[in-house]
Amino acid sequence: MIRAALLALVTGISVQAWGQTAPKYSNEFLSLGVGGRALGMGGAQVSLVNDVTAGYWNPAGLVMAKGDIQLAFMHNEYFAGIAKYDYLGLAAPIDSMRHIGFSILRFGIDDIANTIDLKDKDGNINYDRITGFSAADYAFLVSFASKTRITGLHYGANVKIIHRKVGDFAKAWGFGLDAGMQYTTGRWRVGAMLKDVTSTFNAWSYTLNDRTKEVFIETGNEIPENGLELTLPRLIPGVSREFILKKFTITPAVDLEMTFDGKRNTLIKTNFASIDPRVGVEAGYNHLVFLRMGISNFQQVTDMDDKKKTTVQPNLGVGIRLKSLSIDYALTNIGNSNNLYSNVFSIRLNIYKQKKT
pLDDT tens sequence across 237-257: 999 999 999 899 999 999 999
| 332-336: Cβ within 8 A, 24+ apart | 332/39, 332/40, 334/78, 336/297, 336/299, 336/301, 336/311, 336/312
Which pLDDT score, from 0 to 100, does residue 127 have? Answer: 78
- Residue boundaries of the structural domains of the chain: 2-351
d(CA 48, CA 44): 8
Q: If you average pLDDT over residues 14-22, what whole number do you get?
A: 39
Q: If you average pLDDT over residues 191-207, what whole number do you get?
A: 91
Which pLDDT score, from 0 to 100, does residue 3 have? Answer: 37
Q: Which tens digits make up the pLDDT trace of 85-96?
A: 999 999 999 999
| Percent of the chain residues past pLDDT 70, beyond the cut | 90
Q: If you average pLDDT over residues 103-113, what whole number do you get?
A: 91
306 Rama class: left (phi>0) / alpha (psi -120 to 50) / beta: left
Q: Is the pLDDT of residue 71 over 90?
A: yes
Which pLDDT score, from 0 to 100, does residue 300 have? Answer: 79
Q: Which tens digits make up the pLDDT trace of 314-348?
A: 999 999 999 899 999 999 876 545 556 788 999 99
Which pLDDT score, from 0 to 100, does residue 326 have? Answer: 96
Residue 113 CA: distances (Å) to CA of 86, 132, 292, 330 = 22, 5, 40, 32
DSSP codes joined into one string, 148-211: -SSTTEEEEEEEEEEEEEETTTEEEEEEEEEEEEEEEETTEEEEEEEESTT-EEEEEEE---HH
Q: If you average pLDDT over residues 63-71, what whole number do you get?
A: 95
DSSP codes joined into one string, 205-250: EE---HHHHHHHHHTTPPPP--EEEEE--EEEEEEEE-EEETTEEE
Q: Identify the residue with better confidence: 325 or 271.
A: 325
Which pLDDT score, from 0 to 100, does residue 23 have? Answer: 56
Superfamily (CATH H level) for 2-351 = monomeric porin ompg (2.40.160.40)
Q: If you average pLDDT over residues 158-172, what whole number do you get?
A: 91
Write phi, then psi, for 86 (nearest 5 degrees). -130, 145
Which pLDDT score, from 0 to 100, does residue 320 have? Answer: 96
d(CA 108, CA 171): 13
| pLDDT band at residue 18 under the 50/70/90 scheme | very low
Which pLDDT score, from 0 to 100, does residue 20 have? Answer: 36
In this structure, of 4-18, 23-37, 41-55, 165-179, the range with the lowest mean pLDDT score is: 4-18
pTM summary value? 0.85
In this structure, of 107-121, 221-235, 283-297, the range with the lowest mean pLDDT score is: 107-121
Which pLDDT score, from 0 to 100, does residue 53 have? Answer: 97
Cα angle for residues 48, 269, 300 (degrees, 5° grid): 90
Q: Which tens digits make up the pLDDT trace of 129-164?
A: 777 888 999 999 999 999 999 999 999 999 999 999
